[in-house]
Chains A and B, each alone.
Chain A
Amino acid sequence: MHYANTYLEKPVVPDVKITGEGTTDVLKCMLNTGSDIYQGACKKRGSTLKEEYKNASGTCYMDPRDMAKLGVNNWDTVLVKTDFGEVVVNCAVSRDAPHEGTVFICKGPWANTIVSHDTYCCSDPTYKGIKCTVEKTDRKVLLMADLMRWVYKKYVDEEDDDVVENMESLGELPVYHGRKWEELIDHDL
């Protein structure tokens, strides 16, 4: 069946070519979170288990000068740490650059791991303006289901972060146990 396509594997970002190792291992930054059109389109379609959501939401948008300081290129992985947690995300050049010293991660399970839950009695957590550090890493960005398992560990017996991180992936499709997915609906779309 022909239908209009709204999928996009990765957000479109400006090209950048960073050469060299960079001048620092750990970069101190200000973290902002919020939505952008790629994250919004993917989340609202419901494709949250997929690689697409990982790329749209689990990406740290940086100023190219900050990327040069770290020696990272588009779609390398970085580790972002705040007082509230740490998470591995992709990095890419921000479409809104220049904003040296500020990084932007779209809202979603990845950003949630590191934002502040402090509401200062105003009902609203502080999602913007959080101090963070960014460093280069070899660890992989987790898919949504794996990330939820790694962070909250609601349905695994294991307590060790490293063990849960390296468990077998839950995959990009819902897991149905009783009946096969194909039996539930005409899966032609």
Chain B
Amino acid sequence: MTYEPPVTDYDYIVENCTCAFCGCNCDDLDYLVKDNHVVAVRHACRLGASKIMEDMDQRLLVPMVRDENGELKEVDWDTALDKAAEYIANSIRPVFYGWSETSTECMKEGVALGEYIGAVLDNQATICHGPSLQAVQNAGYPIQTLGEVQNRADMIVYSGSNAMNSHPRHMARYAVFCRGYFRQRGRFDRTVVTMDPKFSDTAKCSDKWIGFEQNGDYGFYNAIRAVLRGKELYQDVISGIPKEDIYELAEEMKNAEFGVLFFGLGLTHTLSKQRNIDIAIKMVQDLNRYSKWGLTPMRGHFNVNGFNIFMAFECGFAFGVDYCRGYPRYMMGETNTIDLLVRKEPDCFMVIAADPGAHFPNGANQHLANIPVIQIDIHWGPSTELADVVLPGSFIGVECAGTSYRMDGVPIYMKKAIDKPETCRDDEWIVRELKERVMKLREEPNVAPKYVPNPNAL
């Protein structure tokens, strides 16, 4: 990259905006605005700046519907919303997927629509931290806020997570380089350990790199747990790590004053899936016999945690909630988007603020080619290539205000900085309109049949 002079030609600055990229939700950004466009962003990382100064070439500006030739045609809002409502109202097994890059206010409308029509509501957790949420139900959730990490933590462990690439300000703002009340010297007061089969960019700036072998995470955590419980290791090398190193690491973790384990998709996407997280949580519980330890999943989108918290509050389940029987139901491997699509069950798919075209495996996306797909998004992306109705939304945190939840569960209000393009609408408005139109088309809500006891069972 070549040197670029700083941007000086702007009309005004909007201070203390919240970043709409990752689960760090950095709330100290300054937007430099000219002619109602953000022309530069201060304090943001490369990812945040890039997202906020979006690509206007690919911005969706008008609602579109596929015609009989398979080409997207621009239409007015009424036509597009009616078409989308018709698809939803005529479907038997609709799936509403996404929600992680929109506000909690919009989810409220979404859950009302989902409950009325008997849909499955799911979010991106299903393809990233779903196993973590499952493990939290299995083993517990020893969490702390990022503020505590900043002020207290003297040992930071990144496991299966490349923070330098996917949460670039996490290390700078919350965990490693920042100074805290009890950690006045910042980086010098902290020990950083990265556990990753790859010598990742995060590993390069850590004090210690544990390069266990691929799919070796489960065995490695079990070995640490055994050492923490005073057991002897019989094998010389476990998951590619010599046992002396495991003893040394366990001793170091025991002696930390306040340690935190941050784990990412390296643990959830390998073969042991939620069992990896189970064992990581149990390791943190074991460590708490000696010292204070906590853990936090490195959530990807700025509001992916928000959907899980919101749904858990609304209906008791965090994600993959199925309303088809008239009451919320949740079953791992059954009511999750990927499993539904691979089984070719859904007959209508609504994508809101998500991109299955870019992130679902081929085997799941193949079914999207057979069914109507409704997309609510701000950019023309891979999902637009599969979409039958496209509804242009607005950009939360830049063009529209809303509430989001940080990776540690702290709610943050994201304020509005500029006006949205004239032809776009707020996500919340779009979903509410859809709900009202669907209610007109299908007058009876989807409710559970009255319970009748089986007379033979008496």
Contacts and interface: CB of A to CB of B under 8 A. Distances in A.
Contacts of B360: 112, 117, 125
Nearest to B200: A96
Given A46-B54, A189-B37, A123 B332 contact: yes
Interface string A126-168: 1111000000000000001100110111111000000000000
B83 interface: no
Give the most central of B7, B62, B365: most A CB within 10 Å.
Answer: B365
Interface string A15-50: 000000000000000101011110011111111111
Given A4-B40, A84-B362, A45 B214 contact: no
Given A155-B70, A185-B56, A107 B61 contact: no
B320 A123 contact: yes
Interface in A41-72: 41-50
A34 B1 CA distance: 24
A41 B336 contact: no
Interface in B1-60: 1, 4, 7-9, 21, 34-35, 37, 39-41, 46-47, 49-51, 53-59
Contacts of B265: 34, 127-128
Contacts of A114: 362
A40 B47 contact: yes
Q: How large is the interface on A (under 10, 10 to 19, 20 to 34, 35 or more residues)?
A: 35 or more
Give the most central of B8, B270, B319, B362: most A CB within 10 Å.
Answer: B362
Contacts of A189: 37, 56
A2 to B, nearest CB: 5
B61 A184 contact: yes
B166 A46 contact: no
Interface in A168-182: 173-179
B147 interface: no
Contacts of B34: 1, 3
B358 A47 contact: no
Contacts of B342: 117, 119
A3 to B, nearest CB: 4
A117 B338 contact: yes
Nearest to B366: A152
A30 B214 contact: yes
Contact of A122 (B56, B273, B359): B273
Give the most central of B55, B166, B266, B359: most A CB within 10 Å.
Answer: B55
B88 to A, nearest CB: 19
B165 A37 contact: yes
Given A46-B59, A99-B197, A99-B198, A6 B46 contact: yes
